[in-house]
Amino acid sequence: MLTLADIELLFARHGASQYSGEPVTQLEHALQTAHLAEQSGADDALVTACLLHDLGHLLNDQGETPSLRGIDDTHQYFALPFMRGLFPDAVLDPIKLHVDAKRYLCQANAGYHAKLSEDSKRSLQLQGGVFSATQAGEFLDRPGARDAVLLRQWDDLAKQAELATPPLAHFLARAGRCALA
Ligand SMILES: [Fe+2]
Ligand SMILES: [Fe+2]
């Protein structure tokens, strides 16, 4: 199981790597997602889910733009066993569902797909493609699905070069407030 200090170390060691196909690093992407959530008034658990939603990329580096090589890195699941004892489901569920939230939003929101980045469009196919209307309805019934949809929309906006955010320490403090005792 990871500790908050381990997570800080992971960002220190791997956070400077480029986010596949986007003009931000892994750390910038994490901070921007959490920052957008915070600006929208999200609680500690959802802000923490936003900060850590792509931690699987840091734990399981598949190299540059794996979608170009036909690889689905399943990063939404990879970090979960490492965080299971550290955070409640309110943090883990939106992380687990943030890829399926993209599949949902492509079905539910006209125009969403067109706004996705090229890498997101490419990985969507590897991740199972757009949900049917039935699958979209089933998705919304899953615990954490609505938070995952919110996370996903901040995630999509968190790819901006030079966007100012609070530092990692600020968001780790919020993570500490929702960590399990
Ligand atoms: Fe992701
Ligand atoms: Fe992301």
Distance 11 CA to ligand 2 centre (A): 14
Distance 167 CA to ligand 1 centre (A): 20
Distance 24 CA to ligand 2 centre (A): 11
Q: Is the pTM of this model over 0.85?
A: yes
pLDDT of residue 56: 96
Residue 171 · residue 31 · CB < 8 Å: yes
pLDDT of residue 151: 98
Model confidence band, residue 19 (pLDDT cutoffs 50, 70, 90): confident
Model confidence over 40-76: pLDDT tens digits?
999 999 999 999 999 999 998 887 788 888 888 899 9
How distant, in Å, are the alpha carbons of 2, 15, 77, 85, 102 from that of 33?
21, 14, 18, 23, 15
Residue 43 · residue 56 · CB < 8 Å: no
Q: Does pLDDT of 181 surpass 80?
A: no
pLDDT of residue 119: 85
Distance 155 CA to ligand 2 centre (A): 5
Distance 32 CA to ligand 2 centre (A): 10
pLDDT > 70: what percent of the chain?
Answer: 100
Model confidence band, residue 22 (pLDDT cutoffs 50, 70, 90): confident
pLDDT of residue 63: 79
Model confidence over 81-104: pLDDT tens digits?
999 999 999 999 999 999 999 999
Distance 125 CA to ligand 1 centre (A): 14
pLDDT of residue 65: 80
Distance 129 CA to ligand 2 centre (A): 17
User: pLDDT averaged over the chain?
Assistant: 95
Model confidence over 163-172: pLDDT tens digits?
999 999 999 9
Q: Please state, as a whole number, how many other Cβ atoms lie within 10 Å of the Cβ of residue 107.
A: 20
